[in-house]
Chains A and B, each alone.
Chain A
């Protein structure tokens, strides 16, 4: 598609950085040690730009842009931390906490959860919005893993890893809006899925306590999605 990528120079939070034209603002920031919060992004998976945590301000535009999908451009001036952005990010987190049932104290991901971490780093000490408290099931039908919809933030990392990396396409979404639900195959119990290879990738990439390894309940073992970059490097090497 694109010809040879060109080198672009831009400014992120006052720092001059250079990046290749096929890189996103997020790539460029990370390479230069500038951290931008993310939830739906994961190195090695396609981007969906869905969580809006990574929104940044671009000089000359009132429209906020998601850093994970916006390609760098020559002369771009990016600001990643402004009171406005921080306010919006806090609200995204609050909305997530109020959307489903996050009871951290009894959650398998307690103290090693992407959402909980972000709440702490963004200073979310309470949620101003009414808790919706939906009634949601927990699917424990799989021999080794479980899915607790109460903790799912619908980031679709599991959907993407299963589809793009494992090639099983077990996960998908059903319904829309706040009623969206992660389903396996044609809305069957996970344990009865014909496609799941029990590889466990979805469990490792899930940022929250929604997908977990039954043997690790309370085992206080952090998830490890690092295998993704390894797999991708392998692929690149093979090409």
Chain B
């Protein structure tokens, strides 16, 4: 029997949650023997595979590209895990939500004494009117709050899921910290 497959996806987040995954240090080696990492910013793979057992999502849904991606990922994933506050609550990316997008872009790219006042256009993913946590867009199976969730938490969550159990996340992590 082949090993279960695991993927990690990076949407609108600071990459801190991925760093926290790496923070598992040597435990990562031991853990990685139990699954195949099939898609991740940490591995070189362009296409999200057709079928993945467990996918961890870092970051919120902030652009049309995020939205497209998360729907595709959801369709191809058995157990979807929102990893970290950005994915779970919107967190820092969502702090822009009370500001209309055009105003926000002007604010950032214009009138700040920049040499070239220009809002980046075309070919870049366009921002959604509101940043949303993953579960407002697709169904999420496991929520792991924390900014970032600790390496211990992530280790336990992955181990439990691999063992076919539902991790008791509430006991492990909380919003923020």
**Is A–B contact present in the complex under a CB 8 A cutoff?**
yes
Contact residues of A with B, CB < 8 Å?
A: 97, 101-107, 110-111, 116, 119-120, 122-128, 130-131, 133-136
Closest 6 CB pairs of A and B: A104-B176, A105-B147, A135-B98, A123-B170, A133-B97, A126-B143
Q: Give bound CA distance, A97 to B99, whole Å.
A: 19
In which size bucket is the chain B interface? Answer: 20 to 34
Asked if A116 and B94 sit within 8 Å, CB to CB, the answer is no
Q: Does B169 contact A (CB under 8 A)?
A: yes
Q: Does B177 contact A (CB under 8 A)?
A: yes
Asked if B92 and A103 sit within 8 Å, CB to CB, the answer is yes
Q: List 22 A-B contacts (CB under 8 A).
A: A97-B89, A97-B175, A101-B97, A102-B89, A104-B175, A105-B85, A105-B91, A105-B175, A105-B177, A106-B92, A111-B177, A116-B176, A119-B174, A122-B170, A125-B143, A125-B170, A126-B135, A126-B140, A126-B143, A130-B136, A131-B94, A135-B98
Q: Give bound CA distance, A116 to B174, whole Å.
A: 7
Q: Does B95 contact A (CB under 8 A)?
A: yes
Residues of B within 8 A of A116 (CB): 174-176
Residues of B within 8 A of A105 (CB): 85, 91-92, 147, 175-177
Residues of A within 8 A of B88 (CB): 125-126
Q: Does B59 contact A (CB under 8 A)?
A: no
Asked if B177 and A133 sit within 8 Å, CB to CB, the answer is no
Residues of A within 8 A of B97 (CB): 101, 131, 133
Interface contacts (Cβ under 8 Å), in number, total 76
User: B134: nearest residue on chain A (CB-CB)?
Assistant: A126
Residues of B within 8 A of A136 (CB): 98
Residues of A within 8 A of B169 (CB): 125
Complex partner residue of A102 from B82, B143, B175, CB under 8 angstroms: B175
Residues of A within 8 A of B143 (CB): 125-126
Residues of B within 8 A of A119 (CB): 174-175
Q: Give bound CA distance, A97 to B143, whole Å.
A: 16
Asked if A126 and B145 sit within 8 Å, CB to CB, the answer is yes
Q: Give bound CA distance, A103 to B97, whole Å.
A: 12
Asked if B98 and A134 sit within 8 Å, CB to CB, the answer is yes
Residues of B within 8 A of A122 (CB): 170
Asked if B94 and A133 sit within 8 Å, CB to CB, the answer is yes
Q: Give bound CA distance, A27 to B91, whole Å.
A: 37
Q: Give bound CA distance, A126 to B85, whole Å.
A: 9
Complex partner residue of B130 from A126, A128, A133, A134, CB under 8 angstroms: A133
Q: Give bound CA distance, A33 to B110, whole Å.
A: 59
CB distance from B104 to the nearest CB of A (A): 12
What 1/0 mask marks residues of chain B from 153 to 177 whose CB sits below 8 Å from any chain A CB?
0000000000000000110011111
Residues of A within 8 A of B85 (CB): 103-105
Q: Give bound CA distance, A106 to B89, whole Å.
A: 13
Q: Does B144 contact A (CB under 8 A)?
A: yes
Residues of A within 8 A of B144 (CB): 125
Residues of A within 8 A of B174 (CB): 104, 116, 119-120
User: A124: nearest residue on chain B (CB-CB)?
Assistant: B170
User: B16: nearest residue on chain A (CB-CB)?
Assistant: A105
CB distance from A111 to the nearest CB of B (A): 5
Asked if A125 and B91 sit within 8 Å, CB to CB, the answer is no
User: A129: nearest residue on chain B (CB-CB)?
Assistant: B136
Residues of A within 8 A of B136 (CB): 130
Given contacts A125-B170, A126-B133, A133-B130, contact A110 B95 (CB under 8 A): no
Residues of B within 8 A of A101 (CB): 94-95, 97-98
Asked if A120 and B89 sit within 8 Å, CB to CB, the answer is no
Q: Which residues 113-132 of B sit at the A interface, judged by CB distance below 8 A?
A: 130
Q: Give bound CA distance, A110 to B175, whole Å.
A: 9
Q: Give bound CA distance, A131 to B90, whole Å.
A: 9
